[in-house]
A and B are shown apart, each in its own frame.
Chain A
């Protein structure tokens, strides 16, 4: 199924939290500053309903996304008030992919964990949490995964300041 088909199907089965789509497009001829957008089409989903949205994607017979391939976040810019949480799904049976994007306000960076839906997201969420400071409510094992347990700050945020030292070891 192509992206349009997947989107239609999601609409047809009333996937919870489906906000819209973000398609790649060419530059707007009227607006000289607009350069368009290349890349993948995305489905925009409300963060608080991400888990139930994924449940639909997994369980719907015609979508049948068996696998969560990736879950990560993006901090688009220091000034930007939002994070993006990006999920990539794959269906082995139907041979299609889906990219999902949730726009999450930095001021309240938390969303329900998707581990009950796909256990694959367990480590991805842990990484996301430590790197961006996004809270995944109900995660079964919310420890740091790549960073030391006592690490201060969330390094992948654009406003992160590199530490001067770590346990007396100079980092400069």
Chain B
């Protein structure tokens, strides 16, 4: 697939002098990609922390941060500097190596998951055929880091947090994946960009969640939302942290920059889950805005075959690419906002209720949705054709 080639690499090929060898270009392109992913995770954390504080503040009839910058927008950066400068504390009885490794593992796995996420239709880091699968697999790895953190801290509260995390994430991984199977069946692909492109009809409103596509996608979307909340440890499923029960759960003993890694992971996971939901349920890049932009530009592809052979960048498609990227970002943050809204409204449920809900209700319901969606798709493809 032509549009499947990496935009960073093609851009470098186009602008770099002839003398530069191909492997250097590859490495540089990879470096740019890694830098962007890391930047995305950090900036997302900074912005989301600020957003969370503002959202919670306004929900609770107060302002939230107001002093550092306009409406406190620099607050997270100030906090970040503080966290960087804090003393690096490792509890005396802790397993030092594991203690230090855990936040890194957590962050690394979410960075890995981020790599499968496309920023714009043609701007991405890794175009994987099993993109969704990669995201789910990588983000599951964070659990191992959390359990490691809980065990290595040598504190009883962290053990509680870690065990809860393990139990909860294992329980909700199933309905999460199964619920995502429903739109995947409709789309017929695991690739995020392809799934998004399939929803471009009707002026960008032909989303999988729309009942004419498949009526089982909407309930699957609800199931996905609940499971995603549990996967990302957000209220009402924030039991691994559960500050009023477990002090701070698995990260009780962490402070400073290591602690902030957990936060970066949490917000990155929220971002990813929202993005995955947006792509597989709510049209991804597609919206009336994207559709309009696609009609305005000559060729929506960013990388096109050059006349003299090879590839070239088509900067004329940038309005479309930007519109699509903005659309996905807005949808993602709408999802993040919804998660925040729920967090500041609902009480926390109990661990046995979490497990009951996961195993007894969500999993069977998700399976039912898959069954229904499968039958629906079979009918649509074989008999109604």
The reply, when asked whether chain A contacts chain B directly with Cβ atoms under 8 A, is: no
